[in-house]
Amino acid sequence: MTTETIRSEITGTVWKIVAEAGAELEADDTIMILESMKMEIPVLAPEAGRVLKLLVAEGAPVREGQEVAVFEEE
């Protein structure tokens, strides 16, 4: 199993956490939704696996390239 850090692709705000730590996801399932300039941008699971840790909370500001979650691929 490989551990990967998921990074934000935009500067914005964490609008909604969809998958809590420990959640089992399939490839391209949504981990969280970021909001920037009234657009909602999903942060997706890169592969099937599990969310190990969330590094941000709902409502928190994020910047492009910031680490937002730790993910373990199957």
Q: How confident is the model at residue 1 (pLDDT cuts 50, 70, 90)?
A: confident
| Side-chain-side CA neighbours of residue 5 (13 Å) | 8
Residue 74 has a pLDDT of: 87
CATH value at residue 30: 2.40.50.100
Instruction: Please tell me the total count of domains within the chain.
Output: 1
- pLDDT tens for 43-65 read 999 999 999 999 999 999 999 99
Structural domain harbouring 29: 2-73
- pLDDT tens for 16-43 read 999 999 999 999 999 999 999 999 999 9
Residue with tokens 């409502």: 59
pTM above 0.85, yes or no: yes
